[in-house]
Amino acid sequence: MDHNSDAGLERIRHLEEQLSRAPINSGRHGLSAKAIRIEAALFWKSLDSAQASEQFDPKPKLPRAVFRSSTYP
């Protein structure tokens, strides 16, 4: 997971805390719920784009073990 995904998860956690403290029939509760839906959509979109870029990357990253050969010290 990249930095943007981590930041998105942290924003969602913060909004969930706000949601849990807001009275159910308040405007603040509705706004927090809407903000969570927006952040969740952005989070999933970032994960989808990250997965797509990894899948279609013309230069796939090799595992580090490939570079640890017995011929190199």
Q: Which amino acid is at 22?
A: A
Per residue in 19-51, pLDDT (tens digit) is 999 999 999 999 999 999 999 998 888 887 777
d(CA 18, CA 32): 7
Q: Write down the pLDDT at residue 8.
A: 84
Q: Write down the pLDDT at residue 17.
A: 95
Residue 18 has pLDDT above 90, yes or no: yes
Q: Write down the pLDDT at residue 65.
A: 59
